[in-house]
């Protein structure tokens, strides 16, 4: 492996972390999430390129671009998890290992949140660990990339 970089993708509404439904998502901000992921990656000799957008096409372009210089993708697709075949196809199409992360336990929430279009293309799933789940996802994805864990 030549690239020691991960793409961190945060989908729609995750820019509102810290103020949106703190009883569900906590009070940490998106900047906190990025820092948590960067710290976990740096501890393993990786760096993070982070993108957040409320526009699906921006996320798709970032995922496509990751083919050139990233070893894997950590993604919290937000609501696109449950609705976007296009996002799933982009993740599948880049042929990189994927870690899906969700701050809340989506399986204990509304029924529509129980289905993930990303689940079948992700090697790693971290659900309901709060923002610290991003660090778990980074570490587990790096283990998959390094071949010390199955994806």
Residue 107 catalytic? no
Annotated active-site residue in 25, 64, 107, 125: 25
From the candidates 102, 107, 114, 117, give the one annotated as an active-site residue.
102
CATH of the domain at 128: 3.40.50.9100
Q: What range does the domain containing 126 cover?
A: 5-146
Point out the residues of the chain with pLDDT beneath 50.
1-2
Residue 65 located in a structural domain: yes
Q: Residue 104, annotated ligand binder?
A: yes
In the block, which residue shows the tokens 């760096």? 47
Check if 114 is active-site.
no
Please state the domain count of the chain: 1
Q: pLDDT tens across 72-112, in order?
A: 999 999 999 999 999 999 999 999 999 999 998 888 777 87
Assigned domain for 42 exists = yes
Binding residue per annotation — 76? yes
């Amino acid at each position: 492996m030549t690239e020691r970089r991960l793409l961190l993708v945060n989908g729609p509404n995750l820019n509102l972390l810290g103020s949106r439904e703190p009883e569900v998502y906590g009070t940490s901000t998106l900047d906190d999430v990025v820092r948590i992921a960067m710290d976990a990656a740096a501890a393993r000799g990786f760096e993070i390129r982070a993108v957040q957008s409320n526009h699906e096409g921006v996320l798709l372009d970032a995922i496509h671009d990751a083919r050139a210089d990233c070893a894997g993708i950590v993604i919290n697709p937000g609501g696109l998890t449950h609705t976007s075949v296009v996002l799933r196809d982009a993740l599948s199409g880049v042929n990189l290992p994927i870690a899906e992360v969700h701050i809340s336990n989506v399986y204990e929430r509304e029924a529509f949140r129980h289905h993930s279009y990303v689940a079948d293309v992700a090697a790693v799933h971290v659900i309901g660990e709060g923002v610290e789940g991003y660090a778990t996802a980074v570490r587990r994805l790096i283990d998959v990339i390094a071949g010390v864990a199955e994806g």
